[in-house]
Amino acid sequence: MPNYSFDAGLLNPLSHGTRESELTSDQAWLQAMVDAELALTRALVDAGLVPEWMLAVCDALADASQFDLGAIALEARGGGNPVIPFVKHLGRAAEKVKAGASDHIHVGATSQDILDTAAMIVARRVACELIHQLDSLGGTLADLADRHRGTVMSGRTLGQQASPTSFGFVAAGWLDAVLLIVTRLEGIRDTLPVQLGGAVGNLAVLTEIARAWRSDALADDVLDIVLQRFAHHVGLVVPRLSWHTNRVVISELASVLAAATGVAGTFALDVSVLSRTEIAEVSERLAPGQGGSSAMPHKRNPVSAVLITAAALQTPGLASTLYGSMLAEDQRPSGAWHAEWQSLRVLERLTISAVTGAASLAARLDIDSDRMRANLDLTDGLVFSERVTTILAGAVGKTTAFALVERASQEAFVTNRPLQVVLASILIAEGCTDALRAQIWAAFSYEGEPGQSAAGIDRVVRSFRQRAAVSERGAIVEAGTPSTNDVRIV
């Protein structure tokens, strides 16, 4: 019997088929730490503070799989963070490549510099994957909104049927949320900073090295080169200062990740509700053997929708922990920084699983327009109360109209008669004109557009498709353009 001491996703089935483990596993974090350390060394070479032969050493050390992950993790207990043993392992490996190479590893840096930069590297990779999956989800939702703009269904408020809407308009609402969150993700992806401050954040060691190798007058310029090139090598930006205890970037990242999971979760929860047996307007297309029960052979459960909702329910607590970690004392806090590590990783994992799952779910939705129409008919016209009240208000005033329709609605409910018939009788008794009664009678129709549904759908779908076209052109340009040395400062 194999000894499965690793996490196979037994309690997180939504993760299977996603890039969650690839992007956030211990191995992914170790690779990001390698990337951060070697990027710093390369930057020091670029600034002339480290011999150029270190570039070949960096190339030889670039693959994190050559390091003993288990040993590094075990040894991390002794120092309280994984960078301390990692630097020792990296130094020993460097010495095997070239004698003296370890002298040029981890120069001027502290553990938090490397781990925070690694966290930003991981976060950028996660953000790129989330944007890709949200684009996929958005493309499916845009098609659904367009295709079902005329598919009438009941709008529901507080769990009850309210007024008619269209499934296309509902899908456009989901799509609008996707648009908002993908824009926020792009913004944070492009502003994630490197961390480099040394022991207490003021670059004291690197300043001394720069002054020794150059003149005092040139030291600041050399340090600027180090920071710029460090950021360039890992695809991040240069902060104005080190941010060892300024954790705004972490809280903002947490906010966007939790919101992205919330967007996916809201969509999934709507699917769960609409797939209830007594509603059955939407269903998740399942493969043979999926959606079943261990006790009830007939069940067809909305599996993905349930798991996505579960992921979304977990993220607020994680985001709360990361916000709490903003309370960081001195130049390195006792526990607040450490509390971020697992919280951020689990939040990233849940977000990847939820958003990827939502993209898959949207592509497997079956829409039952006949059932949507049949459910509207269940109220015998009560869903038209708002519309007929508005028409009637033009003749008798809003207050009187509301009272008349409310009275008619209550009578229709109690007597099990259509609101259209009951209201017609009341209007005759009230002496309303034939023309008004005919207008009210005609208002009980599913034909015509409810409100500004078509215009709203058009705006959202157009915005998404314009963004998709720009993104596609940008990807083509980026693929054909050599990388530059330009690095933004935030």
239-284 pLDDT tens trace: 999 999 999 999 999 999 999 999 999 999 999 999 998 999 999 8
The answer to whether 291 touches 303, Cβ cutoff 8 Å, is: yes
Q: Per the structure block, which two tokens stand in for 77?
A: 């207990």
Q: Per the structure block, which two tokens stand in for 251?
A: 């809280």
The residues that bridge with 283 in the sheet, in sequence order, are 366
- Residue 406 scores a pLDDT above 80: yes
- Residue 173 scores a pLDDT above 90: yes
- Host H or E run for residue 422: helix 419-429
Query: In angstroms, rounded to a whole number, what is the distance separating the alpha carbons of residues 107 and 104?
Result: 6
Q: Enumerate the active-site residues.
A: 293, 332
| pTM score of the predicted model | 0.91
Query: In angstroms, rounded to a whole number, what is the distance separating the alpha carbons of residues 343 and 337?
Result: 11
Which of helix, strand or coil describes residue 346?
helix
**Averaged pLDDT, 225-233:** 96
CA atoms within 13 A on the CB side of 199: 4
Q: Which of 11-20, 30-39, 102-111, 114-123 has the lowest mean pLDDT?
A: 11-20
**Averaged pLDDT, 178-201:** 96
What DSSP string runs through 87-98? HHHHHHHHHHHS
The answer to whether 268 touches 358, Cβ cutoff 8 Å, is: yes
Of the pLDDT bands very low, low, confident and very high (cuts 50, 70, 90), residue 161 is confident
The answer to whether 180 touches 213, Cβ cutoff 8 Å, is: no
Query: In angstroms, rounded to a whole number, what is the distance separating the alpha carbons of residues 59 and 419?
Result: 77
Query: In angstroms, rounded to a whole number, what is the distance separating the alpha carbons of residues 243 and 51?
Result: 29
Of the pLDDT bands very low, low, confident and very high (cuts 50, 70, 90), residue 432 is confident
**Averaged pLDDT, 55-62:** 98
Percent of the chain with pLDDT over 90: 70
Q: What is the pLDDT of residue 106?
A: 97
Q: What is the pLDDT of residue 480?
A: 52
Cβ neighbours of 72 (radius 10 Å): 22
Kindly calculate the radius of gyration of the chain based on its CA atoms and give it in whole angstroms: 30
**Averaged pLDDT, 380-409:** 90
Q: How far is CA 6 from CA 2, 3, 21, 110, 294, in A?
A: 11, 9, 12, 30, 26
What DSSP string runs through 132-196? HHHHHHHHHHHHHHHHTTT-EEEEEETTEEEEEEEHHHHHHHHHHHHHHHHHHHHHHHTTPBP--
Of the pLDDT bands very low, low, confident and very high (cuts 50, 70, 90), residue 488 is low
Domains delineated in the chain: 19-373 (1.20.200.10), 379-444 (1.10.40)
Which of helix, strand or coil describes residue 119?
helix
Query: In angstroms, rounded to a whole number, what is the distance separating the alpha carbons of residues 117 and 129?
Result: 19
For residues 45 and 295, which has the higher predicted lDDT (pLDDT)? Answer: 45
Q: Tokens 């349930």 sit at which residue?
A: 306
For residues 66 and 474, which has the higher predicted lDDT (pLDDT)? Answer: 66
The end-to-end CA distance of the chain, in Å, is: 53
The answer to whether 231 touches 490, Cβ cutoff 8 Å, is: no
Q: Per the structure block, which two tokens stand in for 63?
A: 């693959």
Q: What is the pLDDT of residue 4?
A: 46
Of the pLDDT bands very low, low, confident and very high (cuts 50, 70, 90), residue 484 is very low
Q: Which of 26-30, 46-50, 391-395, 471-475 has the lowest mean pLDDT?
A: 471-475
Q: What is the pLDDT of residue 483?
A: 44
Average pLDDT value over all residues in the chain: 90
**Averaged pLDDT, 448-469:** 87
CA angle 5, 11, 15 (to 5 degrees): 95
Q: Which residues neighbour 140 within 8 Å (Cβ) at sequence distance 6 or greater? A: 359, 362, 363
Q: Which residues neighbour 379 within 8 Å (Cβ) at sequence distance 6 or greater? A: 154, 161, 419
- Residue 450 scores a pLDDT above 90: no
Which has the closest alpha carbon to 351: 283, 419, 275, 263? 263
The answer to whether 260 touches 355, Cβ cutoff 8 Å, is: yes
Q: How many helices (H) and strands (E) does the chain have?
A: 18, 4
Q: Per the structure block, which two tokens stand in for 422?
A: 């009951």
Q: Per the structure block, which two tokens stand in for 185?
A: 């993700």
**Averaged pLDDT, 323-340:** 92
Cβ neighbours of 489 (radius 10 Å): 12
- Residue 415 scores a pLDDT above 80: yes
The residues that bridge with 237 in the sheet, in sequence order, are 193
Q: What is the pLDDT of residue 122?
A: 98
**Averaged pLDDT, 221-235:** 95
- Residue 23 scores a pLDDT above 90: yes
Strand 282-284 vs strand 160-166: parallel, antiparallel, or unpaired? unpaired
Q: What is the pLDDT of residue 465?
A: 94
**Averaged pLDDT, 193-222:** 87
* Per-residue pLDDT tens digits for 89-146: 999 999 999 999 999 999 999 999 999 999 999 999 999 999 999 999 999 999 999 9
